[in-house]
Amino acid sequence: MEHATDSIEIEVAYALPHRQFLERFFVPIGTTIEQAIVLSGVTTLFSEIDLTTQKFGIFNKIAKPGTLLQNGDRVEIYRPLLLDPKEKRRKRVAEKSKKSG
């Protein structure tokens, strides 16, 4: 599909354990991460997304809501960690120790 030269194609992605959102669409050049998220409609489908506290990224690199998008970017909306990775590893090691001991 052809679009005017003043637009770029991007994706917005959000994933839950059993449900995903991936929307590819065109936005005007100069669109920010935050604007793209709103335009995608993901916040309507997933009310837990809070644009004031949520972390975002482009291709797995953290980025600020005001970051300008480039053609082909994939905006990712990150969910908060339920358990700190270090704490999760400690629990896993402790469980293995109990099983083998």
> In the chain, where are the structural domains located?
7-100
Residue 26, SS3 per DSSP? strand
The pLDDT value given to residue 24:
98
Question: What backbone phi and psi angles, to 5 degrees, belong to 72?
Answer: 90, -5
* Interval 13-23: pLDDT, tens: 999 989 999 99
Q: For residues 96 and 93, give the distance between their C-alpha atoms in angstroms, rounded to a whole number.
A: 5
Query: 74 and 24 in contact (C-beta within 8 Å)?
Result: no
Mean pLDDT calculated for residue range 73-91:
82
Mean pLDDT calculated for residue range 7-12:
98
Mean pLDDT calculated for residue range 47-55:
93
Q: What angle do CA 47, 71, 42 make, to 5 degrees?
A: 10
Query: Percentage of the chain surpassing pLDDT 90?
Result: 71
User: Hey, what CATH class is 7-100 in?
Assistant: alpha beta
Q: For residues 23 and 14, give the distance between their C-alpha atoms in angstroms, rounded to a whole number.
A: 9
Query: 83 and 48 in contact (C-beta within 8 Å)?
Result: no
